[in-house]
Amino acid sequence: MDKRQKIQEEALAAWLNANQRGTLELITGLGKTKIALDAIKLLPINAKILFLAEQTDRETDLKAEQIKWNVLQHKVHFACYQSAWKWKDTEWDLVIADEIHDSLTQQYSKFYRNNKFTRIMGLSATVDRRAMVNEEEALLKGHLLDELCPVVYTYTMDEGQTDGTSRKLDVYVITHYLNNTEVIVPGGSKEKPFLQTEQAAYDYRDQLFRNSLHLPEGIKQFKIRTTSAARAKLLYELPSKVIATKKLIPKLSGKTIIFGNSIDALEKITNNVVSSRNSDVRNTELRKSFDAGRINVIASFKKLKQGANLKGLDNVIIHSYYGKTKDLIQRIGRLRQNGEIGKVFIFVTSRTQEIKWFEGMFENISITKIPCNNVEDCIIKLN
């Protein structure tokens, strides 16, 4: 028995010993769906089984896994959290909550309170336990998970790197700099628009954010959210970083996925963006073309960051991000184990909020990183 199979069996046993109610927190690539399907096999053929997920695309991957592991006799109902939270008084023998962290909101968690289930298995690569669910009640995602479906088994990224169960990674950290010479960022208003440098635009938005910290409580939180969002949007869409990413891509061998927090920016880098702006047909076409090797570059904001099994992936570029470990684990988790070293490239914009986001992503993760002074230096170190 290999280590990966042993972990799957340990996780299933932990869930069974917890009266078949609990969350399995395992890094991407360890076969969480396989564990859920093994649990299904233990149930009678006529058992009522519900598989919940955040994205409709997940249903296609689930069906493929059912075929792969020969779990076809049991009927598995599929639904998204966006619709299931409205249900009342439905009854299930087993609920599988895929990426359960996505359901830990005031709205979506209503499903667990308003419906009945004998068993529940939550699946997650990692849960941001400190994320706020309700500010007035000081309710955190960790509190809600402990109440609804507590973690009964954990396997971390560091363990995966040590044991060799997850893919070995070379992580290149590329220092990026705000453009301080060209006026390339829109500013002003519709009535009085103008262009400014990236540095000037960032300094202005950053100062607005800092000013909001000292406002009266009545408007403080609103201003913090809006000024923080404006600053983040600028970092997500930096024209200079789009240029840097486009410079890096041709130097990479194999197949590459680019993750970013702005669809607009991603569409300036490549035409192959899987996004909510596309029809389902277009997104499916892009996935199939990538898997078949007809295209070697694909990009995504949310749709491919969790659950998607991309065939033959060699490189992950994290173009823009925010400081959550779960997003890092989900994104680099697309590099499934194949015996070869996977390459991860993360841009960090100097003297900006991105530095704190980067540090936040790697909190409690000790992967060795390769520092690069700029994209040109990264290309040299690649060779």
More confident residue, 237 or 131: 237
In contact, 177 and 349? CB cutoff 8 Å? yes
Q: How far apart, in whole angstroms, are the C-alpha atoms of residue 132 and residue 137?
A: 10
Asked whether residue 280 falls in the same domain as residue 342, the answer is yes
Asked whether residue 215 falls in the same domain as residue 247, the answer is no
Q: How far apart, in whole angstroms, are the C-alpha atoms of residue 290 and residue 357?
A: 30
pLDDT class of 306 with cuts at 50, 70, 90: low
Asked whether residue 15 falls in the same domain as residue 154, the answer is yes
User: At a CB cut-off of 8 Å and minimum separation 6, what does 284 contact?
Assistant: 60
Last residue of a domain, one of 201, 216, 236: 236
Task: Write out pLDDT tens, residues 176-217.
Answer: 999 999 999 998 888 999 999 999 999 999 999 999 999 998
The CATH number covering residue 10 comes to 3.40.50.300
- Phi, psi of 209, deg, nearest 5: -60, -45
Domain residue limits at 202: 186-236
pLDDT class of 56 with cuts at 50, 70, 90: confident
Asked whether residue 137 falls in the same domain as residue 9, the answer is yes
Asked whether residue 204 falls in the same domain as residue 285, the answer is no
The amino acid occupying position 220 is: K
Asked whether residue 219 falls in the same domain as residue 259, the answer is no
Looking at the structure of the chain, the number of domains it has is 3
**Cβ-count burial of 367 within 10 angstroms (0-12 exposed, 13-18 middle, 19+ buried)?**
middle
Asked whether residue 87 falls in the same domain as residue 193, the answer is no
Residue position matching structure tokens 């939180």: 221
Asked whether residue 259 falls in the same domain as residue 226, the answer is no
Task: Write out pLDDT tens, residues 66-85.
Answer: 999 999 999 999 999 999 99
